């Protein structure tokens, strides 16, 4: 059933797709889409910012790093069409957050259950390395999602950059820093539960490590952390299926109200 909230989320994602705030990334995504990897030569690449994906009523918000050049930037859906996506969606499926364990293309029937996937950055960065200014630019969309996704009770940050980006959206929303235009945008978009201005835990107490989880108080979602399921992490065994499964099981227990 369509709701005002799902309409707002769709509107936001249309703005994301049309966004051109980071010229370096816009150029790079288009270049990758033009040149293509040999094995995808016959495919039409997406080549633009990649919208978030999932259930607007979700209790779990997953924050990734950025689309991969030949993954999300090719298929137009978060974590779709590469090994990171295969790894993540299998784990989400096994934990009950997805209806199937694979993710090939936008029309493959994948649906998330009680889960919504976003990213710190919505354009693929060269060498997977975003610049600080690009992360700051893209933070506005994460802040707006935190405002719109009203049922979120758990946030899973995949990797240190996602972890820092989520905390920056809470501790340093763009309204404190930005131009008048950005301030106009963010005045309406700060995460609702932060507007009450209750103290957050000291920022220095929140450190990224795989398996960590934090209660931020103030009615904010509990924050969970995992290594990012990048090929580098999964192929070297830094992140195994078992390790990600354990984090997702802890989230399920938390959402069901059982002890962690």
Residues that bind ligand SF4 (CB under 6 A): 16, 19-22, 25-26, 49, 121-123, 134, 137-138
Min separation Cβ 231 and ligand SF4, Å: 21
Min separation Cβ 29 and ligand SF4, Å: 8
Min separation Cβ 16 and ligand SF4, Å: 5
- Alpha-carbon distances, residue 149 vs 33, 107, 219, 258 (angstroms): 31, 24, 14, 23
Concatenating the DSSP letter of every residue in 73-87 gives: HHHSSTT-SSHHHHH
Min separation Cβ 212 and ligand SF4, Å: 27
CA atoms of 75 and 30, how far apart (whole Å): 13
CB neighbour list of residue 191: distance below 8 Å, 6 or more residues apart: 143, 146, 147, 169, 170, 173, 220
CB neighbour list of residue 166: distance below 8 Å, 6 or more residues apart: 63, 120, 142, 155, 157, 223
CA atoms of 142 and 147, how far apart (whole Å): 9
* C-alpha torsion sign, points 193, 211, 120, 254: negative
22/69 with CB nearer ligand SF4: 22
CA atoms of 237 and 73, how far apart (whole Å): 26
Min separation Cβ 41 and ligand SF4, Å: 25
22/248 with CB nearer ligand SF4: 22
19/161 with CB nearer ligand SF4: 19
Min separation Cβ 141 and ligand SF4, Å: 6
90/228 with CB nearer ligand SF4: 228
- Determine which helix (DSSP H) or strand (DSSP E) holds 14, and give its type and residue range: helix 4-18
């Amino acid at each position: 059933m369509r709701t005002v909230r799902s309409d707002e989320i769709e509107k936001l994602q249309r703005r994301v797709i049309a966004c051109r705030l980071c010229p370096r990334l816009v150029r790079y995504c288009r270049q990758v889409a033009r040149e293509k990897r040999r094995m995808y030569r016959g495919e039409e690449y997406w080549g633009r910012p990649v919208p978030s994906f999932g259930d607007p009523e979700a209790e779990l918000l997953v924050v990734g790093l950025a689309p991969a050049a030949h993954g999300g930037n090719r298929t137009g859906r978060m974590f779709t069409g590469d090994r990171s996506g295969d790894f993540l969606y299998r784990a989400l499926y096994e934990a009950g957050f997805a209806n199937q364990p694979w993710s090939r293309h936008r029309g493959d029937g994948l649906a998330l259950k009680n889960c919504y996937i976003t990213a710190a950055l919505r354009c693929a960065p060269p060498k997977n390395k975003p610049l600080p200014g690009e992360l700051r630019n893209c933070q506005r969309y994460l802040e707006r999602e935190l405002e719109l996704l009203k049922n979120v009770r758990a946030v899973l940050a995949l990797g240190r950059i996602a972890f820092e980006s989520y905390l920056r959206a809470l501790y340093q929303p763009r309204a404190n820093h930005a131009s008048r235009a950005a301030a106009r945008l963010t005045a309406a978009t700060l995460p609702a539960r932060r507007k009450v201005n209750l103290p957050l835990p000291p920022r220095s107490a929140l450190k990224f490590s795989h398996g960590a989880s934090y209660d931020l108080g103030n009615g904010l979602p509990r924050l969970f952390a995992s290594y990012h399921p990048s090929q580098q992490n999964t192929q070297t065994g830094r992140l195994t299926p078992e390790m990600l499964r354990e984090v997702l099981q802890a989230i399920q227990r938390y959402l069901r109200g059982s002890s962690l």
